[in-house]
Homo-oligomer: A and B are copies of this chain.
């Protein structure tokens, strides 16, 4: 039996349409256009191409788009200054910082300069921390508003809209990355899955992957997951994207895997197209929160956060432990 295809291309079109309607409604009601500012530095080709895709998705959903491109020889200070400027512009509701940044610039310093309320790709540790602290989905909310990185949020949406059962299932995530693997763990845990995260030191990997009712792969290693590593009937979510023999493929050997899996996301056309629409969803949410808070926003009490100081060589407590 061939697996159900988790078609991100089709679903993202549907969601784009939903968002477009909501954006139009929002604009009519508040006379404000939800706006996303993209910040990048240098001319990394992947970064340029991704920026173009985001701009197109903005156009398709009616979200206003601003690109802020700094030269490759820009400084950390310059980027931080730009972040602070965008934080203070009430016409900008969402900010996305594209990586990689030029060498010598510490991404965490630039990311933490962003107002977490505008951090629509969930990159700021405050958003990561609120997600980490968030209660199970059926419990009362126990943290402030936050944003989840668009890619794992898109993966979750792909599961939910395809009626994949998460509650009580065993999920295995291959790859503990900060923007996909770890937030995906937290999202699936919040939905009552029993989640295992594998890394490079997991041996043998296949022994763990075969236990998965939901198998998530986030490595970028082409065809790392062969059909015999998949439990028959499992759901497979592929976040990989790499070249193999001149073709773009995922972490999973799709052709063979689809004969074993119960449901599987193809590459391309699976989790990829979901990312941009979830970024739009988050931008609209940011605009809604900011406009709703309205005048209250000007009464926000600034909290002093100690940023990683330039000369600070102290180690976190966890290192000592």
A239 adjacent to chain B (CB < 8 Å) = no
Contacts of A144 in B (CB 8 A): 108-109, 112, 125, 306-308
- Across the interface, which residues of B come within 8 angstroms of A301, CB to CB? 307
The verdict on A45 contacting chain B, using a C-beta distance below 8 Å, is no
* Interface SS, A side: mixed
Q: Tell me whether A317 and B285 are in contact in the complex, defined as CB-CB below 8 angstroms, given that A129-B127, A202-B168 are known contacts.
A: yes
Nearest-neighbor residue (CB-CB) of A171 within chain B: B196
Given that A302-B304, A305-B302, A306-B117 are contacting pairs, would A317 and B194 also be in contact in the complex, using a CB cutoff of 8 Å? Answer: no
| A247 contacts partner chain B, Cβ-Cβ < 8 Å | no
Question: B160 near A320 (CB under 8 angstroms)?
Answer: no
Distance A288 CA – B197 CA, assembled complex (angstroms): 34
Interface-lining segment among A3-11, A27-35, A263-271, A291-299: A291-299
Q: Confirm or deny: A315 has a beta carbon within 8 angstroms of a beta carbon on chain B.
A: yes
Taking a contact as CB atoms closer than 8 A, the residue among B288, B309, B318 that contacts A131 in the complex is B318
- Residue pair A312, B145 in contact (C-beta under 8 Å): yes
For the complex, is A133 an interface residue (Cβ under 8 Å from B)? yes
Whether A320 lies near B126 (C-beta < 8 A) is no
Would A304 and B197 be within 8 Å (CB), given that A126-B129, A288-B314 are in contact?
no
Bound: A148/B321 CA distance, A: 9
B134 touching A132, Cβ below 8 Å: no
With A129-B129, A132-B132: A141-B303 Cβ-Cβ less than 8 Å: no
Taken together as a complex, chains A and B put the C-alpha atoms of A196 and B130 apart, in Å, by 21
A147-B316 in contact (CB<8A): yes
Complex CA gap A227/B51 in Å reads: 55
- The reply to whether A156 and B315 form a contact with Cβ atoms under 8 Å apart is no
Partner of A316, one of B124, B145, B196: B145
Extra inter-chain contacts (10) besides given A125-B126, A128-B128, A303-B305, CB under 8 Å: A125-B133, A125-B143, A137-B319, A143-B316, A144-B306, A147-B316, A148-B318, A170-B208, A300-B304, A302-B303
Task: Return the 9 tightest CB-CB contacts between A and B, nearest first.
Answer: A129-B129, A125-B129, A144-B308, A128-B129, A196-B196, A117-B306, A192-B201, A302-B302, A168-B201
Residues of A within 8 A of B (CB): 87, 107-109, 112-113, 115-117, 122, 124-134, 136-137, 141-148, 153, 156-157, 160, 167-168, 170, 176, 178, 182, 186-187, 189-190, 192, 194-203, 208, 278, 281-282, 285, 288-289, 292-293, 296-297, 300-309, 311-312, 314-321
